[in-house]
Amino acid sequence: MNRWWFFAACLFGGIFGLYAFWRFEDAVSDLGRTVIAFFLFGFYCALVVIGTSGKKRTLSLLMQTLLGISLSCTIAALFSAPADAYLLAVILGLILGFTADWWVNHIQLP
């Protein structure tokens, strides 16, 4: 069992816990949206760290940039951002994904 299986089990367990123990009314509140946004951001960071660490790279620069853009647009949609905020979300996602190789070097896996 490699680390991708472990990561997938943690992801689906987290999603199950999110829907099993939260009511839907709590998920549409500001606190619920903030928790979901932090969960998505943490999931993106973990995916990039696992995909780019080590000697063999399994996540390309294009893919991590597209994932960063989709993450930022999803968080903007989650908070019902106006139309001009999506342009800012795309720019921030592009920066987040393109510089991921730099900030991954500062994270040490056990």
11 has pLDDT over 60:
yes
- For residue 95, what pLDDT band results from cuts at 50, 70 and 90? very high
Query: How deeply is 6 buried, as exposed, middle or buried, from its count of CB atoms within 10 A (0-12, 13-18, 19+)?
Result: exposed
CA distance 105 to 110: 14
1 has pLDDT over 50:
no
* C-beta of residue 14 within 8 angstroms of C-beta of residue 39: yes
* CA dist list (Å): 82 to 1, 79, 89, 95: 44, 9, 11, 21
Q: What is the pLDDT of residue 90?
A: 93
Q: What is the pTM of this model?
A: 0.72
Q: What is the pLDDT of residue 54?
A: 66
* C-beta of residue 104 within 8 angstroms of C-beta of residue 86: no
Name the residue with higher pLDDT: 69 or 108.
69
Q: pLDDT tens-digit profile of 15-50?
A: 666 666 666 555 567 877 888 888 888 888 888 887
